[in-house]
Amino acid sequence: MNAVDNTISGGEFGTAIQARYATVTQHFHGAVTPPRVPRMRPPAPEGFVDRDPVCAALDELSGRRAVRTSVQVVAITGLPGVGKSGVLAHWAAADGREEDFPGGTFYADLSPRGRLSPSDPASVLRTFVGALGTPRSEMPADEDALAVHFRWLTSDRPCLVLLDGVVNPAQVPHLLPGHPAGMVVLTSRQRLSGLRSLDMPRPDYLPLDALDDDNCARLLLGSAGREETVDGAELRTVVRVLAGLPLAARIAGALADDPLGGGLTELARQLTDPPSLVKELAVPDGEAVGPAFAMAYEALDEDGARTFRALGVHPTTDMADELVEALAGGGADGRRVRRALLEAHLLEPASRGRCRMNGLIHAYARELARREPDARAATEDFLADWYLRRAAAAELLLSPRWHHGAVFARPELLSGVFDSREQALDAMERDRENVAVVIERACAAGRYDTVCQLVEALHGFFFRHKHHALWIEACRSAVEAAGHLQGTLAPARMHYELAFALIDRGSPQDLAEAESHYGRSLALAREAAHARTESSALEGLGQVAARQGRPLEALDRFREALRALGDTDHPRGRVLLEYHQGQAAGAAGQHEEAARLLLSAARRFAALPVPDRHNEAKSLLRYGRARLAADRPDEALPRLEEALGILAGLDAPKDEADAYLARGDAHAADGRAERARADWESALGLFRRLGSIEVGQAARRLAGPAQGQE
């Protein structure tokens, strides 16, 4: 058949049917040898574990073939070493599989020499056609004709085609069999999204994830010839390093079984922070993890390879899409590179707007980055600046307070990073561990000003989401960093930040340490003649006194803080001090004065140029408590309702829990036990979610006599 005029000449021909992939054409010279039934499947792997969901999905797709009008194509995709070939061979070897495919089983490795030298579909077709009995002398010469001949030979009965290591979508279409109930199962390190655009049946995709720790341990122990019940610290250490990759687990098992290697104990020691983790996972003269990763890495273009190495410098394996794109240059180039890394399974999509890197692949990228110290240092700087801008953009949305850091000098440069407070809080929540490591590294690298600015920029996020251990650790780094900077204002601000975090956590030891840091901040602020910071430090000392049961001393400190402001234009600071005076007055038993100050503060917070809804709600909450202390639940309830209405639109779960607790108390005092229980249960749920020590407060109320009232 000629592609130009569709004429047939020379030789003998069977039926000619010209629909592209649904039908076939026979072209042969002389007699046709009856087709044989090839069984070319690879051997099933020993010690196969897990993968039940993927195998079940393959079974389900295979079971639908009888009603299909075209070949079923399934792509098993995943990162290097995740076990795609093992799944392919295991599923193909299942009992009854030959009966499912009476036309035979065909297998080909489409990248035996690596991704850069993919197999030619024509050579694969010659192998398939030869296995069916066609002599090489009678095979069509060109690839299109070979594909037609293969489809004709496989058009009578369903067959199974297994294509391992597909490199690009163009390798697949010519290898499809002819019977509509046939099935093609392929594996690839690429996502092969381009298959959808080709003139062939639409494929189904089955992404293969890493093994969980239990199954990874089973595979390791099976490969080592050990009992599956073996457990211990060494095994857990090794399994964590393997990051769920079956290839790595099998290699680790072989190393653990090596009589010259020292067993699991020595392997665990070798894999704990070695010079090259990937190099350690190699069997002498046998399998190794590194080459599998290298093939994927070497197939990247220059931009992709540079970005991959940069991601090895990133603190963790989880990151925002925007960061990957920024490391690749941003814009269209950044999106292209991120897509290429995802297609190569060197990155995996995580939650919306984020991606992750397998732990072993991240270790490989980190080792590549270590070979270029200058580029690594530049990437460290880039990451610190990127996270600083992101944290500062979030801080501007979360807090109207005054900021000292230079990054806040031009707020217009921080606009557009986040669309809302909720988005900013969510982003910072996901990146909190990354930022903590960035601060630690920046401090070690002498980027002291960046450390101080980052800690200031994280204030609003940590204040809402707490994470006190991370917060306080970051603040301690900032106090150390500020000591290396010129002047006394930066140290004053960082001592203030640390004291604020400590008092927010609030243990007796924290309060004592906070008092010390507020005192140091006060002395440094006075030396710098900085009224705002002096006032803030005095405010903090007042809060410590109040928390330690010295309300009259606290009132004096708050009044002193107000005087320290002088004529400084700081309306929000003045309202905050009124709020604190109200709290201290209530603690001193001056309930009417407390109510007056707190209600005034609530209205003034709402009237600020940028209304402070969070502190407005807190003022109303404290007002409600003050009225409860004065036995006026009827006056407390409306303001507590108002506070909860405001908090419902904020992300401040601790304050919301406190408000539910107080409203429950007001209901109980007014004789409404069922409403009280409902509020206390809401408070208990929020406290539990936060891991708060206030859980006991709600639990004791729920266990008390109010449950039998009404």
What are 109-148's pLDDT values in tens digits? 998 877 767 889 999 999 999 999 888 888 888 899 999 9
- Compute the average pLDDT of residues 679-686: 96
Contact, 422 vs 397, CB < 8 A? no
Element (H, E) at 306: helix 302-311
Residue 516 burial by CB count (10 A; 0-12/13-18/19+): exposed, middle or buried?
Answer: middle
pLDDT band at 27 (very low <50, low <70, confident <90, very high): very low
pLDDT band at 101 (very low <50, low <70, confident <90, very high): very high
Q: Residue 190 corresponds to which tokens in the numbers above?
A: 């690429």
Predicted pLDDT at 275:
63
Predicted pLDDT at 449:
97
Q: What whole-number distance in Å separates Cα of residue 279 and Cα of residue 514? A: 48
- Compute the average pLDDT of residues 437-450: 97
Q: Looking at residue 33, what DSSP letter applies?
A: P
The lowest-confidence range among 58-67, 269-278, 494-503, 569-578 is 269-278
Predicted pLDDT at 3:
38
Contact, 381 vs 331, CB < 8 A? no
Predicted pLDDT at 35:
61
- Long-range Cβ contacts of 283-286 (<8 Å, 24+ apart): 283/251, 283/254, 283/255, 283/258, 286/251, 286/254
Q: What whole-number distance in Å separates Cα of residue 175 and Cα of residue 159? A: 12
Predicted pLDDT at 228:
55
* Comparison of pLDDT for 123 and 26, the residue scoring more: 123
In this predicted structure, the answer to whether residue 695 has a pLDDT above a threshold of 80 is yes
pLDDT digits (tens, 9 = 90+) for 651-667: 889 999 999 999 999 99
Q: Residue 615 corresponds to which tokens in the numbers above?
A: 């502190």
In this predicted structure, the answer to whether residue 218 has a pLDDT above a threshold of 80 is yes
Predicted pLDDT at 77:
95
Predicted pLDDT at 111:
86
- Compute the average pLDDT of residues 286-309: 90
Predicted pLDDT at 98:
93
Residue 113 burial by CB count (10 A; 0-12/13-18/19+): exposed, middle or buried?
Answer: exposed
pLDDT band at 231 (very low <50, low <70, confident <90, very high): low
* Residue 109, beta-bridge partner list: 164
pLDDT digits (tens, 9 = 90+) for 237-290: 899 989 999 999 988 888 888 877 778 888 888 887 666 677 778 877 677 888
| Three-state DSSP state, 72 | strand
Q: Looking at residue 67, what DSSP letter applies?
A: G
User: What residue has token string 């104990």?
Assistant: 265
Contact, 102 vs 157, CB < 8 A? yes
pLDDT digits (tens, 9 = 90+) for 559-616: 999 999 999 999 999 999 999 999 999 999 999 999 999 999 999 999 999 899 999 9
Q: CA 554, 559, 561: angle at the middle one, nearest 5?
A: 95
The lowest-confidence range among 74-88, 182-196, 249-263, 417-431 is 249-263
- Compute the average pLDDT of residues 158-164: 96
The percentage of the chain sitting over the pLDDT mark of 90, rounded to a whole number, equals 73
Predicted pLDDT at 201:
93
pLDDT band at 30 (very low <50, low <70, confident <90, very high): very low
- Compute the average pLDDT of residues 461-488: 96
pLDDT band at 22 (very low <50, low <70, confident <90, very high): very low
| Three-state DSSP state, 206 | strand
* Residue 185, beta-bridge partner list: 74, 162
In this predicted structure, the answer to whether residue 298 has a pLDDT above a threshold of 60 is yes
Name the amino acid, one letter, at 134.
Answer: T
Q: What whole-number distance in Å separates Cα of residue 286 and Cα of residue 292? A: 13
671: left (phi over 0), alpha (psi -120 to 50) or beta: left
- CA R_g for the chain: 34
- Note the pTM of the prediction, 2 decimals: 0.75
158: left (phi over 0), alpha (psi -120 to 50) or beta: beta
Q: Looking at residue 188, what DSSP letter applies?
A: E
Q: What whole-number distance in Å separates Cα of residue 28 and Cα of residue 133? A: 12
Q: Looking at residue 164, what DSSP letter applies?
A: E
Predicted pLDDT at 47:
83
DSSP 676-706: HHHHHHHHHHHHHHHT-TTHHHHHHHHTSGG
Q: Residue 481 corresponds to which tokens in the numbers above?
A: 């960093």
DSSP 473-518: HHHHHHHHHHTTSSSSHHHHHHHHHHHHHHHHH--HHHHHHHHHHH
Contact, 633 vs 645, CB < 8 A? no
Q: What whole-number distance in Å separates Cα of residue 394 and Cα of residue 552? A: 37
User: What residue has token string 């005087």?
Assistant: 563
In this predicted structure, the answer to whether residue 419 has a pLDDT above a threshold of 50 is yes
Q: In 3-state terms, the chain is what percent helix, strand and coil (to 5)? A: 60, 5, 35
Predicted pLDDT at 282:
80
- Compute the average pLDDT of residues 381-401: 95
Summary mean pLDDT of the chain:
89
Q: What whole-number distance in Å separates Cα of residue 191 and Cα of residue 336? A: 14
